Amino acid sequence: MKGYVLDTSVLYYGKDLPSGYELVITPGVVNELDKEDMGTRLELLLATRIRVSSPSERSLKRIEAEAERTGDSRRLSQTDREILALALDLGYELITDDYSIQNIAKVMGIPCRGLDQRGITEVFEWQAKCRGCGKLFPADVRVCDVCGSETKTKRKRRS
Ligand SMILES: [Zn+2]
């Protein structure tokens, strides 16, 4: 069966989750969603469509080694590593907008694609946050002008 491994940002925008496929996330994604007050939505998704699974140690080590080699290691969170390793384990396509994740996926031959950002802005307000220093930018900014780190997209908090 074909399926997809999803990263945290993908689940904010669940409207267009691929239908008819198995959808899998890791325990780290569950934790991140809990922190973002997405617990209720998460429960619904888990009850209906999404399975939680942990990657193998072997795949995690392969991801780690590759990330060290490409220089993405510092930009990858533990959750990022988990979803990459899980995609490797299952042979599923990875859906993420994170550039470092996409980079490692490409290098390791893991099928990977991003979400349509224009679609996202119609539903939620998004912004980009620097993974290094935490500076906030408009959602389409990919590299921080202060520290040069890549940004990740996050849902804008109401002030
Ligand atoms: Zn920065």
pLDDT for res 74: 79
Give the Å distance between the CA of 137 and the centre of ligand 1.
10
Percent of the chain with pLDDT over 90: 38
Question: Which three-class secondary structure string do you get for 50-113?
Answer: EEECCCCHHHHHHHHHHHHHHCCHHHCCHHHHHHHHHHHHHCCEEECCCHHHHHHHHHHCCCEE
Write down the pTM of the prediction.
0.68
Give the Å distance between the CA of 1 and the centre of ligand 1.
40
Residue 74 CA to residue 1 CA, distance in Å, equals 33
Give the Å distance between the CA of 118 and the centre of ligand 1.
24
Interval 29-44 mean pLDDT: 79
pLDDT for res 116: 57
Residue 94 CA to residue 92 CA, distance in Å, equals 6
Give the Å distance between the CA of 41 and the centre of ligand 1.
30
Kindly list the domain boundaries of the chain, sorted by start residue.
Answer: 3-113, 121-155
Question: Confidence band (pLDDT; 50, 70, 90) for 72?
Answer: confident
Which tens digit of pLDDT belongs to each residue from 124-144? Answer: 456 889 999 999 988 778 899
* CATH topology for the 3-113 domain: Rossmann fold (3.40.50)
SS3 33: helix
Give the Å distance between the CA of 26 and the centre of ligand 1.
27
Of the candidate ranges 5-19, 25-39, 142-156, the one whose mean pLDDT is the lowest: 5-19
Interval 33-55 mean pLDDT: 81
Give the Å distance between the CA of 86 and the centre of ligand 1.
28
Give the Å distance between the CA of 136 and the centre of ligand 1.
9
- Crossing angle between the packed helical segments 78-90 and 57-70, to the nearest 10 degrees: 120
The string over 112-139, giving b where at least 16 C-beta atoms fall within 10 Å of a residue's C-beta and e elsewhere, is bebbeeeebeeeeebbbbbbeeeeebeb
pLDDT for res 13: 64
Interval 111-122 mean pLDDT: 58
Interval 17-24 mean pLDDT: 82
Give the Å distance between the CA of 143 and the centre of ligand 1.
8
Residue 104 CA to residue 64 CA, distance in Å, equals 10
Among 111, 53, 49, which residue's Cα sits nearest to residue 86?
53
Give the Å distance between the CA of 100 and the centre of ligand 1.
15
Interval 60-74 mean pLDDT: 88
